[in-house]
Amino acid sequence: MTAIMAGLALAAGLLTTAAPAASAEDVGAQAYTWKNVRIGGGGFVPSFVFNRSEPDLVYARTDIGGAYRWNEQGQEWIPLLDSIGWDDWGYTGVASLATDPVDPDRVYAAVGTYTNDWDPENGAILRSSDRGRTWQRTELPFKLGGNMPGRGMGERLVVDPHNNNVLYLGAPSGQGLWRSTDAGVTWQKVTTFPNPGDYVLNPDDPGGYENDIIGVVWVTFDPSTGSPGSTTQTLYAGVADLDESVYRSTDGGRTWSPVPGQPTGYLPHKGVLDEETGDLYVATADNPGPYAAEDGEVWRYDTGTGQWTDISPVPAGGDRWFGFSGLTVDRQNPGTVMVTGYSSWWPDTQIFRSTNGGDSWTAAWQWGNYPQRDKRYTMDVSAVPWLTFGENPQPPEETPKLGWMTEGMEIDPFDPDRLLYGTGATVYGTTQLTNWDRDQTFTVRPFVKGLEETSVRDLISPPSGAPLLSGLGDIGGFRHTDVDQVPAMMFRQPSFGTTSSLDYAELAPNIVVRVGTHVGDGTDPLIGFSTDNGAHWWSGSTPGGAGGGTVAAAADGSRFVWSPENTGVHHSVGFGNSWSASQGIPQGARVEADRVDPNRFYGFHQGTFYISTNGGATFTASAAQGLPATGEVRFGAVPGRTGDIWLAGGGLWRSTDGGATFTRNTGIDADNIGFGAPAPGQSYQALYSSGVVNGVRGVYRSTDTGATWTRINDDDHQWAWTGDAITGDPRIYGRVYLSTNGRGVIYGDSA
């Protein structure tokens, strides 16, 4: 197989971004405007790539939320991969990104989310000649891991600074090094590259997430060995190997050999060449990241003399409890280099800076009189106030933190004062970086406007109060009083990382309930109640350590039904002070409430619909036949209509008799269903769904009780996966809120 792959030239394909012509059933972008509900980040940003020939041209890549380009005038990020469709959802994980230093209009993205079977597709190289507005693609014969271990290492994808038709890609999974000589259209394996890497984080991982080879993780050119229009002759490559990790070619990539005298025992997260001094810097760790690492080193290689020097900011045997990454050099001031202790979780991340090539370092903070820390910086998170996480930690910990998972860090090559770095939740930066060298304080603040990366689990839009409440992965969720403003704080008291389900009482919408699971360690109960529309919360009790799953509030807020993911369905009268097991419904059922009758609750599990008329105490299986027995199924009851239920799961079914019978709607193969304000002149709620109509995948609306469906998005606005939550706004006809897995909450308004 290796021999076959070595000679394979990969054909290019087109990633369509142009919208089809509008019709009576397809109104698309001409009738809808789409925006993000503003949150202000929320996910891991592994790296930034500045163009070396044009100021202010900078890109960011995320692990599940696509790629972005910086808009200097608006001081915001522009999403570039919203055209990724449902079937190509894995392309939203960006394993690497490259901007062309010769032709700044060209940009490339190496995409693919998982190298195991979670992602059914192989990876691809996306290429654009208009700065990411439109893309073409070349499919690869192997997978890429934008959300796999080692995703903060890199960059794996690079463009030759002199001959921009030449690109290199470092591959995972033992696939080695690949090269393109036609600007990314076709790719061939570099058969002379001697080491595809052998490091595996956890060979015994049964889930397949940690047992893949990390592979070739970065390539760096030496521009002094080329001239415009000719191929650069000297290149360096980093490989996830504990014995020989740095390789060099001096003949334009034809042959490669390990660099003599190199350090061993660690993984090379980053390799950056200071072209003016001829020093190659390598930041290493004992773990591929982006989470754990307990040790590492920083080395300087003099490319002229061949001498390696250990320049670790914290020497061996010192107070070093982290690995190094986030490596960057100041292109305006040779010899200035920075690196992060990316895995320093407690009491904070650490950033180091040297102005003499690593001979000596200063730190962003150092110990004062314990537990106090002396800091060179101040934090200003007023633009994204929830970054304090509502915490009040004991010193030496502080909030907001300087960061965590700080693998991506870059000094602007045109402006030594501008620094950007990513964390597990946002983008931080400063425009006062050189204050550091004058022992003056500099301000760190979020640079995240427009970059929304959250995994959305549930959405509700009550008829009064805040227009939207969101349930999110990792950061809980928010009460959005203004969808165009960043909320002040995520849900607190109780605090749990992932909200799996939300509901409100239809007839008393100030009553809200949410359930979820902890991310990492957590002790708060996993259910919260509010009587002021989600502005304030208190904890309920949990039946038998329950967590996650789905929850439903009675129409008048008098009782609740909870189907946790780890125990059976339970019901409670009042606000969850005590719970009783519900009878007649299996564990794992999805539960919802009737929106008129407080005693009626519904459930669904593996093809069977369940009905309760006594507040969730007992359920009875419906005799309804033909409902989906497998796959994800979501359903909801229509506000203002007792027993009017729509059920979606690869199709769409409706019941008007409280679930006793269902009739299939043949107009759409729906994955979810939501309700919003009726169209003018109509009395029945507008229906919204992510699904397929006449073979066309899209987001659809019906204003005639499901008789006809109109596509309201277009091919430029697909956001990959939109199959979880969807809801209309009960107060604004045409407004719809969509969940995504990595692009945050999207909302659309009808023109």
Task: Report the candidate in 99, 153, 149, 102 with the shortest Cα–Cα distance to residue 126.
Answer: 99
Q: What is the pLDDT of residue 30?
A: 55
φ/ψ of 438, rounded to 5, equals: -100, 10
Q: Number of helices and strands (H, E) in the chain?
A: 2, 60
Q: Mean pLDDT across the stretch 531-549?
A: 95
Work out the number of other CB atoms within 10 angstroms of the CB of residue 703: 21
Domains 73-259 and 491-629 equal at CATH topology level: yes
- SS3 assignment, position 436: helix
Q: Mean pLDDT across the stretch 130-134?
A: 98
**Chain-wide mean pLDDT for the chain?**
95
Cα angle vertex 601, ends 599, 602, to 5°? 155
29 has pLDDT over 80: no
From CA 703, how far away is CA 270, in angstroms rounded? 54
Instruction: Write out pLDDT tens, residues 172-200.
Output: 999 999 999 999 999 999 999 999 999 99
Q: Of 43-47, 204-208, 213-217, 637-641, which range is least confident?
A: 204-208
**End-to-end CA, the chain:** 54
φ/ψ of 595, rounded to 5, equals: -90, 5
- SS3 assignment, position 700: strand
From CA 654, how far away is CA 730, in angstroms rounded? 20
Residue 143: CB partners within 8 Å, gap ≥ 6?
112, 114, 115, 116, 119, 121, 122, 123, 172, 173
19 has pLDDT over 50: no
Q: What is the pLDDT of residue 10?
A: 31
402 has pLDDT over 60: yes
* CATH architecture of the region 491-629: 7 Propeller (2.130)
Task: Report the candidate in 644, 687, 707, 647 with the shortest Cα–Cα distance to residue 671.
Answer: 647
Q: What share of the chain is helix, strand, coil (3-state, %, to 5)?
A: 5, 35, 60
Q: Running DSSP on this structure, what letter comes out for residue 695?
A: T
Share of the chain above pLDDT 90, in %: 94
Continuous segment of H or E residues that includes residue 128: strand 124-128
From CA 158, how far away is CA 218, in angstroms rounded? 8
Q: What is the pLDDT of residue 11?
A: 31
The residues spanned by each domain of the chain are 73-259, 491-629
Q: For the residues of 98-114, what is the DSSP string, one character each?
A: EE-SSSTT-EEEEE-S-
681 has pLDDT over 80: yes
Q: Running DSSP on this structure, what letter comes out for residue 274?
A: E
Would you please indicate which residues are annotated as catalytic (active-site) residues? 63, 474
Are the C-beta atoms of 216 and 247 separated by less than 8 Å? Answer: no
Q: What is the pLDDT of residue 25?
A: 52
Q: Of 516-520, 651-655, 670-674, which range is least confident?
A: 516-520
Instruction: Write out pLDDT tens, residues 225-242.
Output: 999 999 999 999 999 999
Task: Report the candidate in 169, 165, 171 with the shortest Cα–Cα distance to residue 185.
Answer: 165
- SS3 assignment, position 438: helix
Cross-strand bridge partners of residue 107: 99, 128
Are the C-beta atoms of 300 and 281 separated by less than 8 Å? Answer: yes
Both tokens assigned to 748: 């659309």
Work out the number of other CB atoms within 10 angstroms of the CB of residue 413: 19
My answer on whether omega of the bond before 371 falls inside 30° of 0, hence cis, is: yes
My answer on whether omega of the bond before 400 falls inside 30° of 0, hence cis, is: yes
Q: Mean pLDDT across the stretch 31-57?
A: 97
Are the C-beta atoms of 109 and 131 separated by less than 8 Å? Answer: no
Residue length of the chain: 751
Cα angle vertex 458, ends 94, 729, to 5°? 110
408 has pLDDT over 80: yes
Cross-strand bridge partners of residue 508: 505
From CA 639, how far away is CA 656, in angstroms rounded? 13
φ/ψ of 210, rounded to 5, equals: -110, 10
Q: Where are the beta strands (DSSP E) in 416-525?
A: 419-422, 427-430, 442-446, 456-460, 468-472, 476-480, 498-505, 508-517
Q: What is the pLDDT of residue 544?
A: 87
Cα angle vertex 115, ends 114, 120, to 5°? 70
> What is the value of pTM for the model shown?
0.95
Give 327 or 31, the one with higher predicted confidence.
327
Cross-strand bridge partners of residue 218: 238
Q: Mean pLDDT across the stretch 595-614?
A: 98
Edge-to-edge strand order for the sheet containing 590-593? 590-593, 601-605, 608-612, 620-621
Tokens 């304000």: give the residue.
677
Work out the number of other CB atoms within 10 angstroms of the CB of residue 729: 24
Both tokens assigned to 730: 């009960």
Q: Are strands 188-189 and 216-222 parallel, antiparallel or unpaired?
A: unpaired
102 has pLDDT over 70: yes
From CA 166, how far away is CA 253, in angstroms rounded? 10
Return the CATH number of the domain spanning residue range 73-259: 2.130.10.10
- Contacts for 17-21: CB closer than 8 Å, 24+ residues apart: 17/83, 17/133, 17/134, 17/135, 17/715, 17/716, 18/134, 18/715, 18/716, 19/714, 19/715, 19/716, 20/714, 20/715
CA dihedral (37, 38, 39, 41) positive or negative: positive
Q: Mean pLDDT across the stretch 555-583?
A: 96
Cross-strand bridge partners of residue 670: 691
Instruction: Write out pLDDT tens, residues 73-98.
Output: 999 999 999 999 999 999 999 999 99
From CA 139, how far away is CA 126, in angstroms rounded? 9
Q: Using alpha carbons, list the distances in angstroms from residue 290 to 93, 152, 285, 713.
A: 15, 6, 10, 35
Edge-to-edge strand order for the sheet containing 427-430? 377-379, 442-446, 427-430, 419-422, 409-411
Give 573 or 28, the one with higher predicted confidence.
573
By CB neighbour count within 10 A (0-12 exposed, 13-18 middle, 19+ buried), where does 572 fall?
Answer: buried
28 has pLDDT over 70: no
Of the pLDDT bands very low, low, confident and very high (cuts 50, 70, 90), residue 622 is very high
Task: Report the candidate in 242, 241, 219, 243 with the shortest Cα–Cα distance to residue 232.
Answer: 219
Full 3-state SS string of 632-663: CCEEEECCCCCCCEEEECCCEEEECCCCCCCE
Instruction: Write out pLDDT tens, residues 493-532.
Output: 999 999 999 999 999 999 999 999 999 888 999 999 999 9
Are the C-beta atoms of 255 and 280 separated by less than 8 Å? Answer: no
23 has pLDDT over 50: no
Q: What is the pLDDT of residue 26?
A: 57
5 has pLDDT over 70: no
